Structure formats: C-alpha cells, structure tokens
Amino acid sequence: MKSYIQISTTTETKEEAQKIAQYLVEQKLAACVQICGPIESTYRWKGKIETANEWLCLIKTREDLFNKVEAAIKKLHSYETPEIIAVPIVKGSNEYLNWLDDETENKLKDKVS
C-alpha cells in the first residue's frame, strides 16, 4: 500500500522557505510545498528560551521519499538543527493522491482507486 506524508520545516526567512520549496518541487521530491508565515515559535536552544518569527513549509510527498527530502532540506537550510518532521496522510481524495504520485519522482505505477 502506498504511503503519503506531510513534512514540516521552518525557516528564518521567506526567501529561504521559497528556495527550499522551489528545489523540492523542481526535483520532484514534493508535489506541493505550502509556505505559511510569519509564525511565532518559542523553543529552548542551548539552554535559553528563545522566541523568533519563522516561515513554515508544509511539504506534501510520498513516505518513500522522506530520506531524499530530509537530505535536501539539510543541504539548503541555514539552521544548525532544522525541524524536519513528518506526519502520515491517513486519508485523501483519489484524485489528489494520484496527482501527488504523478508529480513526484519515480511515479508509482498503480493509481489509487
């Protein structure tokens, strides 16, 4: 059975988010990347509580592409430890999931029905 995921990462600037989104879609590692922001993040970093404005990327892809997406984000990202987390897409319309297959590398041959 095919598995789909949504990966999220945050960036310091909109331009960095756009660069990551463009690369992932151009390389067919993601069918779509939505950029939201700015958002406010509060987190602990090196023993201090920090608050910063960030841009959130929501990356729609297949589970089997996670490692390639992760490597691309790490290569392009300015953060020392970028957020790279994935959640499963447990349901979706057949049309959307078929489109996701068509727009990512090594298309899966069997369409969702």
Q: Which CATH number belongs to the domain containing residue 72 in this structure?
A: 3.30.70.120
pLDDT at 106: 78
Residue 60: give the domain boundaries.
Answer: 4-102
Q: Is the pLDDT of residue 101 over 80?
A: yes
Q: Is residue 111 part of a domain?
A: no
Q: Is the pLDDT of residue 109 over 70?
A: no
Give 17: exposed, middle or buried? Use CB within 10 Å, 0-12, 13-18, 19+: buried
Percent of the chain with pLDDT over 90: 90
pLDDT at 110: 53
Q: Is the pLDDT of residue 107 over 60?
A: no
Q: Is residue 30 part of a domain?
A: yes
Q: Is residue 64 part of a domain?
A: yes
Q: Is residue 88 part of a domain?
A: yes
Q: Is residue 48 part of a domain?
A: yes
| 41 band by pLDDT with thresholds 50, 70 and 90 | very high
Q: Is residue 97 part of a domain?
A: yes
Contact criterion met (CB below 8 Å) for 62 and 108: yes
Number of domains in the chain: 1
Contact criterion met (CB below 8 Å) for 39 and 54: yes
Contact criterion met (CB below 8 Å) for 17 and 55: yes
Look up the pTM and report it: 0.92
pLDDT at 98: 93
Q: Is residue 96 part of a domain?
A: yes
Q: Is residue 113 part of a domain?
A: no
